[in-house]
Every structure is written in structure tokens, then in C-alpha cells.
Structure 1
Amino acid sequence: MGPRRIVCLTEEPTETLYALGEQDRIVGISGFTVRPARARREKPKVSAFTSAKVEAILALRPDLAIGFSDIQADIAAELVRRGVEVWIANHRGVDGILDYIRRLGALVGVAAKADAWAGELQRGLDAARERAGQRGVRPRVYFEEWDEPLITGIQWVAELVRIAGGEDVFPEHASQSLARDRILADPSVVVARAPDIILGSWCGKKFRPDRVAARPGWDAIPAVRDGELHEIRSPLILQPGPAALTDGLAAIEAVIDAWVRRRAG
């Protein structure tokens, strides 16, 4: 049977459990959850990224809380001290997301269904790779996760950029799991990397291409010169869950495909 009363401290377990048809197990969700939309209507919101309503969570009598990474370590520790079993996932790449889906499915007793869905997602990734190979050209892509300070994309984002047909211009930063280790202290390094496309996904606020283009010296960047500054909405790409592998990947691929077609035309 597995756990029957689950609190999801981030969005990805909520989205995954709904997709697997196991949403009735969820008794509480993150206030930042947007996928699926019905979850916000159906489930009480009991946490944020770095804080949680511990007493409200305890009142829900959960037999499992699911969170993500060191960001929620303090929440997890408090819940453990209060007698709640906690699973903190720590995956950072595309393969890790697929494995996460399989593990969560197995945890709630639907391993076969989760494995089948992960296989379907893998086939979607493979198809995107094949389309990328057929384009014959790969634009250089700068992904900006935050603007003050500049923070470049995490591993799964960089991997999805490559799967979609681009080349992440800061691969050495993508391998760093903590945002503070992906800070670009000197904005001129982006100018030096000369990206053809800039993708912005500022967590919690709207991406402003005009502000990016106005940065000193950035008019020399091909992406700025050609107007290739695009927003990828953060719920699609900044959560290490299924949305990134579907709608997030599709959004990146659409930008790259349009860039290739304009270049060819």
C-alpha cells in the first residue's frame, strides 16, 4: 500500500503523483505548486521553499513528507524531530528526474505504471535529440536563472538545452548544485562567451529582455544584437520534475528551432 497521507513540500512530487493517479494520497502541498492547476484547488498549502507551517503539517497526520535538496534541510529536520518520516530527494540531472519518477512510483505501489511513464518520457527526450541532430547547427545558449546576481542554469537545464539542440555556454557552472556556486560575478564573461540565444527564467518574477539588453557591453552579444532573448516560464523548467522533461524541453526546443529557421532563411 505504501504511504497514504503524503505532504509534498515541493511541486514535483505533487505533479508526479497526480500523473500516476495517486493524488488521493496527497494531504498537503507547496504554496508554489502550479502543476497541475487542480492541485491548488484541492489541497491545502502548507510550505514554501525554505519554510513550512509545521503545526499545520502535523495536523494533517502525514505518514510521509517529500521534499528536495539542502534548501529544505531545516524543514526536514524539524519534521523528523516531530516524528514525521521524510524523503528528501537530491537529483540534479535528467536521468535523476526519470529515476525519481520510478522511485516515487515504487514507493506508492505503482512501480510498473511509473516505469512505463518514465519510458515514455525517455522516448520524448530521444526524439528531441534526433530532431536536434537533423538541424545541422547548434546555437550557443546562455540560460539565466536569476538576475541579481546573475545565476546560470543548473545541470538538468543545461542537459535539456543540449537535448533540444543547443550548447550551454557555461557547462562548468551547470555541474554545481548550489545556486551560489553558479553566480557570475562579472557580467562581461557572458559577453565573452557570445551566446546566440539568451533564455531567462527568473524564479518568481517575469523575465525582462529589455533590462538584459541594456546591460553595459551586452549589445555586442549576438543574442542581444539579433533580439534572441526569450523567457522560459520558471514552473516549466526550474523544478526537477516531469514538467521540465515535457513542457520545459518543448519551450526550449521551440526557441532553438525558430532560431535555426531564421538563420537558414
Structure 2
Amino acid sequence: MVCLTEEPTETLYLLGEQDRIVGISGFTVRPPRARKEKPKVSAFTSAKIGEILKLEPDLAIGFSDIQADIAAELVRHGVEVWIANHRSVDGILDYIGRLGALVGAAGRAQALVAGLRAGLDAIAAEAARLPRRPRVYFEEWDAPQITGIRWVAELVRIAGGDDIFPEHAAMSLAKDRIIADPSEVVRRAPDLILGSWCGKRFRPEKLAARPGWD
């Protein structure tokens, strides 16, 4: 298998099925050993098609409409591709179950899911004791500014906060989560700002330099 994004790599390692992996995303950080053991053959919006073909994978696994062009190119070269499109916390847990079933590890996958659900429940119980719920702005991209996907907003809520752009979180496509007027972030006055630019390193100093963001 070639893992075009980080999720299948981490999941397969957690399931003890890492020997199936022949190539990974260059953004992989978990587990750290994966970067040492597996060749890096993709980013998020691009992939080394030639290098992937040399690995002769039975399956390539990716995520979202953003990787549609990569998937199409691999399909044209005869590679089977699974592009998952989970957008919620429940969708992520379902994805783990499906990936586990795909590699014959359904039981281990369900045990992993049960453990993750228990962890989320414990966090929610702890968060319920917070004296107040902080308002949170999550930035997924900076130019244009794109706010977080549904599962991000759900994790913020589970952890005891409230996403300041809930109307955008409900939108599955990144283009529908663009903040047309960046000054709206200032007006909504978040207590916390979280940044995870999808495909490049987050630079908090760039946010601090925006007009009004001091």
C-alpha cells in the first residue's frame, strides 16, 4: 500500500499492519519511525507518480477532493485507489474500522476505535467542568483564510470550546470555508487561535502582523 496522506500510515502502524506500507506522505510525523522506514512519495496536493509506480502498490490510499488529480493519474496507470472523504469525528472512527477490515484486522480496528471513543468521552467529561467555554478560531489555510473542517469544530466542542465559525464548519469543501472578510475574525473575538495550515508550516508571527490582530 502507498499512503498518500498521514491517516492510513498512522492507523496501519497502530493496527500492527505497517509491513503492508511501501510508501508514505512526506508530512507523516506519527509514528516517528515511519519516516525512517518508508520512502516518502507524496505531499498533499502533489505526488511522485513515477516513484509510486516503481513500488508496484496493490492499493493507494488518500483523502479528500484535494487529491482527486493524484488519484486520477494513478488510476490511469492501473493503480487501484481509495480516496476516503470523512468530515466528522464519527467519520474518522468509521474510516479506521473500514481500513482495518480492508487489511483483515477488523477486530483490532474496532478495539482501537473503542479506545479512541473512550478517550474522547473522558475529555468531554473533563471539559464539562471548565468555568467557561473559550471561543476558538481555527485556521486551516492563510491565503485565502480558510477556517476548520467539521471534525475540527467537533473536537473543539468536545474539548470544551466553541468554534467562532460554526456555519463554515458545516461545509465539506475548503472553498466553502473561505472567510470572505478577514476582519470578521477580529469582530468575533476568539479567546484562542489555533493554526494548522494544510500543507505548509504554520507561522503564528504572520497572524500577529495582520491589521487589527494585535
Which residue matches 2:27? Answer: 32
Which residue matches 1:187? Answer: 182
Which residue matches 1:207? Answer: 203
SS at structure 2 position matched to 1:119 = helix
Q: Mapping of 1:1-265 within 5 angstroms?
A: 6-203=1-198, 204-208=200-204, 210-219=205-214
Where structure 2 has 5 or more consecutive residues not aligned to the other structure, the ranges are: none
In the TM superposition, residue 213 of structure 1 has moved relative to its aligned partner by 3.5
**Structure-2 change in CA distance of 1:82 and 1:164 (3 Å):** same
The CA deviation string for residues 72-123 of structure 1, in whole angstroms up to 9 with x for no partner, is 1111112112221111100011111100111000000010000001000000
- Ranges of 4+ aligned residues in structure 1 off by more than 4 Å: none
Where structure 1 has 5 or more consecutive residues not aligned to the other structure, the ranges are: 1-5, 220-265
Distance (whole Å) between structure 2 residues aligned to residue 8 and residue 52 of structure 1: 11
**Which segment is superposed worse, 185-194 or 157-166?**
185-194
Distance (whole Å) between structure 2 residues aligned to residue 217 and residue 84 of structure 1: 49
Distance (whole Å) between structure 2 residues aligned to residue 53 and residue 159 of structure 1: 33
Which residue matches 1:238? Answer: none
**Residue identity opposite 1:123 in structure 2:** A
The CA deviation string for residues 200-228 of structure 1, in whole angstroms up to 9 with x for no partner, is 223412332x4434433334xxxxxxxxx
Distance (whole Å) between structure 1 residues aligned to residue 189 and residue 68 of structure 2: 37
Distance (whole Å) between structure 1 residues aligned to residue 142 and residue 58 of structure 2: 39
Distance (whole Å) between structure 2 residues aligned to residue 156 and residue 83 of structure 1: 33
Q: How many residues align?
A: 213
Task: Note if contact 1:102-1:111 (Cα within 8 Å) is conserved in structure 2.
Answer: yes
The TM-score normalised by the length of structure 2 is 0.94
In the TM superposition, residue 197 of structure 1 has moved relative to its aligned partner by 1.6
Distance (whole Å) between structure 2 residues aligned to residue 144 and residue 10 of structure 1: 20
The TM-score normalised by the length of structure 1 is 0.76
**Residue identity opposite 1:205 in structure 2:** R
Higher helix proportion, which one? 1
CA RMSD of aligned residues (A): 1.4
Distance (whole Å) between structure 2 residues aligned to residue 34 and residue 110 of structure 1: 23
Distance (whole Å) between structure 2 residues aligned to residue 102 and residue 10 of structure 1: 17
**Structure-2 change in CA distance of 1:81 and 1:212 (3 Å):** closer
Task: Note if contact 1:93-1:156 (Cα within 8 Å) is conserved in structure 2.
Answer: yes
